Amino acid sequence: MSDALDNPASLWPTPPAAAKQEPQRWVWAAMDPPERRARMRELAIWVDWLRRTFELHNNIPPCWYRHPPVVEHLTALYAGWLRTYAGEQAAGRELAEADWINTLHNFTPRLQLAACASGRHQDPPPLVPPSLGAAEAFEVYLVTADTTTAAAAHPAAAELARRTAELDAPL
């Protein structure tokens, strides 16, 4: 287990040289339960590494896995980390590692949970159920509102027409 904590990239299987495939996208709802559990374990090892390496133990609560929005943010960070550190170096991405670290710092506020900052997990507030008739009101909106029924018109249509006319101008 300590090898995985020292090098989380070792968890990702190395594809055959001929395959050269991108790591699969992580869509939790699309995974079968056994795969979801395995991937959650993989993510947990990486999150432990992340918390230690970047000293985020005060920013990512120990109960992070109980908060779906935090899981989604950490999943995005992990998938990006895999592509950056364990994938092929793409041309024009010489600062990919620095970009990933900047992304991590931009995500950090979203990983913090004031309710769980004391170390004790607190369930998120329950979802507010939609009001009666909300689905019907939404459907009425879709067929009657200007934003969903107006004819298509590009805001730069006049500029596009002018440029097209310049290209088609007689010599």
The whole-angstrom separation of Cα 104 and Cα 111 is 10
Please state the rounded mean pLDDT for residues 156-162.
85
Burial group, residue 78, by CB count within 10 angstroms (0-12, 13-18, 19+): buried
pLDDT of 20 strictly over 50: no
Percent of the chain with pLDDT over 90: 49
Please give the share of the chain, as a percent, with pLDDT higher than 70. 85
Closest CA to 67 of 124, 126, 127: 124
pLDDT digit string, tens, across residues 109-131:
999 888 888 888 988 888 899 89
pTM score: 0.67
Is the pLDDT at 160 greater than 80? The verdict is yes
* C-alpha separations of 40 from 11, 13, 34, 68, 74 in Å: 12, 16, 10, 12, 11
* C-alpha angle 56-61-65 in degrees, rounded to nearest 5: 115
Q: Which residue has the tokens 């991405």?
A: 93
Tell me what pLDDT residue 151 has: 87
pLDDT at 13 over 60: no
Band of pLDDT at residue 10, cut at 50, 70 and 90: low
